[in-house]
Structure 1
């Protein structure tokens, strides 16, 4: 497994990320690689995605028939999706599966419905997200498909599991993205948790978090036969 951490593309790994990674290892027994990719504002997407691409290719080249799964939270979920989009469009092998925890799907965060939920979100703000998205995108429009998978053609993408809380402003785009991916023929397991804040899985002892890791275990152990769709 390749794990890509969140932090709006401006913040490094924190303890909650390591808690998630540890819970995933305990649940699945997977070998997990965690790249420390370059961040904004010192860098834009070019340095970060170059490292992610190289690390994924090195994993694929030594997999010996094992499944290769890419997992990410928040901005890391964005990075997981854009990695798969680049490889699909370049005619390269894809991850066997994507596992996305509260993924950041639109770097421009332009859906006005996000503003309506903002007051109840204890972690994210639309204004801050937009600034971080601009820094990461650099000279590319933040809403372009390779920056914001919500606007990408999703045909041919690998199976996905998406775990999302409903007290997170990203839930607006997550619902739309799951529906769009299914319409494109992608196998999607979308699970939404009532009262879940942004990347609540980082608090690993919560009942909802334990359910997420149980489902991750089932999904990764089922030879890509994902759980029930909702």
Structure 2
């Protein structure tokens, strides 16, 4: 672990009680959840298109220079409870800067004011709209945490619906099993800088709605994982989702999926949103996969 990552990790650990309180407020029905606006520096370098897809808002970052034609979806995380946060902007801009991709940012309605069944028509519409925009260029689906879950769900549904699959899936710390019931996850709660298991359990019940938690559209760990495109998983070791992510990687490989795991020692949940050597290396790797580099 670099000195920079260790320092940021300690800062987040110190803020954890405040972050837990903020998340508790977000679990209440009707809590205000406005997506973080684009920083001025981003607006100077990108044209930001505001679009509606299946009745939901989507922002698309279009590079003003050096566009590659790659079309990439980035589903944000937040345990299906938080909106797009300020922490997410460095991730999407870091990917766009490195690849010249048009970055699609879907703004789905968080729980408890919506469930997975409210989001599925939006997911299916994106699975048609973004590949159409890509044409002969590469098409990527990505996301972190709950967004990594949503990236998997979109790809699974595209496979089953016979629509174009992404050329690559790039997911960071995906929340693949909303039960979050591996005993090791609870043991890791004290070293996790952002999350506690009890809140994840309540967020999971909210998002699943009428479905079982083990429904593959809720927890992709229980899906048929065959026939998927190559997957790159970025994962820190100080993240209580680690045990379930490792189980997912093993299970996907057993079912024939091509899965690359980038395990980052000492990194916490969503470390790629802060400026450290580890986050920059992970974003470099993700960008290589966006571009199709081996």
Give the TM-score category using the shorter length.
over 0.9
Name the counterpart of 2:129: 58
Alignment-derived partner of residue 284 in structure 2: 214
Would the aligned equivalents of 1:155 and 1:184 in 2 still touch at CA under 8 Å? yes
Equivalent residue for 1:13, pick from 80, 84, 95: 84
Gaps of 5+ in 1: 226-230
Q: Aligned-pair distance for 1:19?
A: 1.1
User: Paired residue for 1:171, among 227, 236, 242?
Assistant: 242
Do structure 1's residue 84 and structure 2's residue 155 form an aligned pair?
Answer: yes
CA-based RMSD of the aligned residues comes to: 1.2
Assess, with a 3 A threshold, how the Cα gap between structure 1 residues 9 and 170 changes in structure 2: closer, same or farther.
same
Aligned mates of 1:27, 1:92 — CA distance in 2: 28
Q: Is the 8 A contact 1:87 1:94 kept in 2?
A: yes
Q: In the aligned structure 2, how far is the partner of 1:143 from the partner of 1:112? A: 17
5+ residue gaps, structure 2:
1-71
From 31, 34, 37, the equivalent of 2:102 is 31
Q: Higher mean Cα deviation, 158-167 or 47-56?
A: 47-56
Matched residues in 2 for 1:153 and 1:103: separation?
Answer: 17
TM value normalised by structure 2: 0.73
Q: More strand by proportion, 1 or 2?
A: 2
* Displacement of 1:90: 2.1
3-state SS in 2 of match to 1:143: coil
Please name the residue that 1:228 is paired with: none
In our comparison, the structure showing a higher alpha carbon Rg is: 2
CA distance in 2, matches of 1:2, 1:55: 8
Q: How many residues align?
A: 223
SS of 1:118's equivalent in the other structure is coil
Shift of residue 109 of structure 1?
0.9
1:41 and 1:135 in contact (8 A); partners too: yes
Counterparts in 2 of 1:94-105, with a 5 A limit? 94-105=165-176
Q: TM-score, normalised by structure 1?
A: 0.93
Q: How does 1:1-230 map to 2 (within 5 A)?
A: 1-203=72-274, 205-222=275-292, 225=294
Could you give the per-residue CA deviations for residues 162-201 of structure 1, whole angstroms, max 9, x where no partner exists? Answer: 0000000111011111111111111111011111110100
The CA distance in 2 between the partners of 1:162 and 1:117, in whole Å, is 20
Question: Per the alignment, in what secondary structure is the counterpart of residue 188 of structure 2?
Answer: helix
